[in-house]
Structure formats: C-alpha cells, structure tokens
Amino acid sequence: MRILFLGDVVGRSGRDALVAKLPDLKRTLRAELVIVNGENASHGFGLAPDMARAFFAAGADVITLGNHAWDRKELLPYIAETPRLIRPLNFPPGTPGAGVTTVELADGRKAVVLNAMGRLFMDALDCPFRLTAQELARYKLGASVSAIIMDFHAEATSEKMAFAHSFDGQVSLVVGTHTHCPTADYQILPGGTAFQSDAGMCGDYDSVIGMQKEGAAIRFWRKMPGERLAPAEGEATLCGLLVVTSDSTGLALAVEPVRIGGRLSQAMPTV
C-alpha cells in the first residue's frame, strides 16, 4: 500500500496549498491512502467543518487532530457524524468523535488509522501507550487489516521515539505531529515499522512554527501575553512522508520525505 501522510495544516496558506496541490501530488505518488493532520487549519487554531470538507474533496481519506481539536466548537457535531475525522483516542470517555477509523480501499484492502496525543509537556490525558495497545489488540496487521497508521501528536521527541519502539512490528507507520518542524530521522525500525519524529507542517516556514514571527518573537522578549497569534501568510511548504508497505505483512518497505513548494529544500519520493 502507498500511504501519503501530510503534517499539520496551518492557516489559510497551508489550506490553500493543500487543496491546490494534493490532487496532483496524490496522482504523482500513486498514493492509495492519504492522511492529513488538520488541527491548525483554522487561523492556526482548530478546524472548521467546511475546511474538513475541502480537504476530503481534494483527496484526503482521513483527517487527524490534536490539542487544538475543540478550538472551533462547530466541529463537535460534525466530528460525531464523520468517521474519517478522528481526534486523539486518549481524550476522556464521552468526548465526541473517535480516535480510530477503518478505511476500505477500492480493491477491498483495509487500513486502520489511529490518533493519540502525548502527555510530556502536553495536557494531562489518559495514557496513550496503554490505550493504543488496547486498540491494537483488535487487529492483526497483514491479516485482518493491510496497514495500520499511527499519528502521535506530541511535543517531546523522546516520547515519540519511545512510542514508536513500543509498537514496532505491530503497525505500518508511527509519525509524529505537533511541533511543525520536519525531522530528518525518517527510517524503518528493526521490527518493520516506518517512523519519523515529526512530519512537519503544511504552512509558511518564514514564521515561528507557522505563526507570524513578529508577534511570536515579542512574547519571548517580554514574557507577557500579547495579541492572539496570527498565521503567516506566505507561500506554504507541504511537508509529510510517503510510506510503501508490504501487502503480505503490512510492514514498511520504504519511507521517504515529502516537501513541496515554499522555502524549504524540496523532496519528492522516488519509490
């Protein structure tokens, strides 16, 4: 299976780039499953239903979220009726939506996508390790499902790495989101799981993690809250990765970065 994962979409710049470029990118990479983290799409904070619909229309199969999941309150009824929009599974019981979804491809193959949130320097949620293990017990990679993809929305690279090694060999991909900076550690772990600490963002990199740099910088100078941060509005770079998995085992055969447009060095998978 050819799986394209794109990191946190930030603001209008990221939204416009995703909607404009994803259809051609999906065709070029022959991606069979596309997953997008959309939690910063609305002015950098949350996701609105019309934005989610635009992402789905552009070719996203699943949209994942994170700590800004509920910044747009109108998402609450929408997520309850949209199974392919998922939020971290370790939110408290009774939270709208779900933390996992199953996608069936046209040829009948099934892929499971999970979303969890880390706890180090983040909100005090339930244990993502334990809840992920419980959820994975329901599936058999390479048998009942052809691929399992994990978006781990977390701050600390140590927690992301520990999470990936904990589930190495049980899932096709563990990819980190949240920090908005693409890391260079994309690899296939010893057990066959593809991993990258952070996929990066789909947004303007002439910024402070996607937000206008002047307002963000002044907060560090003065250590005082200022005006609400606003997204940078320059040309966005689409950042993510492409993973190719084995149809027999569901484990990764190749993983390569994706960086298209904007300021960053460009990277287009060759597999």
SS (H, E, C) the chain: CEEEEECEEEHHHHHHHHHHHHHHHHHHHCCCEEEEECCECCCCCCCCHHHHHHHHHHCCCEEECCCCCCCCCCHHHHHHCCCCECCCCCCCCCCCCCCEEEEECCCCCEEEEEEEECCCCCCCCCCHHHHHHHHHCCCCECCCECEEEEEEECCCHHHHHHHHHHCECCECEEEEECCCCCCCCCEECCCCCEEECCCCEEECCCCECCECHHHHHHHHHHCCCCCCCCECCCCCEEEEEEEEECCCCCCEEEEEEEEECCCCCCECCCC
Annotation: CATH topology of 2-260: Purple Acid Phosphatase; chain A, domain 2 (3.60.21)
Give pLDDT tens digits for 135-165. 999 999 999 999 999 999 999 999 999 999 9
What does pTM read for this prediction? 0.96
Q: How confident is the model at residue 271 (pLDDT cuts 50, 70, 90)?
A: very high
Cβ neighbours for 156, distance < 8 A, ≥ 6 positions apart = 118, 120, 121
Strands 252-260 and 238-245: antiparallel
Task: Supply the pLDDT for residue 222.
Answer: 86
Look at residue 224 and tell me whether its pLDDT is greater than 90: no
Task: Supply the pLDDT for residue 227.
Answer: 72
Task: Supply the pLDDT for residue 84.
Answer: 98
Q: What are phi and psi of 55, to 5 degrees?
A: -65, -45
Catalytic residue positions?
Answer: 68
Task: Supply the pLDDT for residue 37.
Answer: 98
Task: Supply the pLDDT for residue 255.
Answer: 98
Measured CA to CA, the distance from residue 219 to residue 196 in angstroms comes to 30
Percent of the chain at pLDDT > 90 equals 94
Cβ neighbours for 218, distance < 8 A, ≥ 6 positions apart = 226
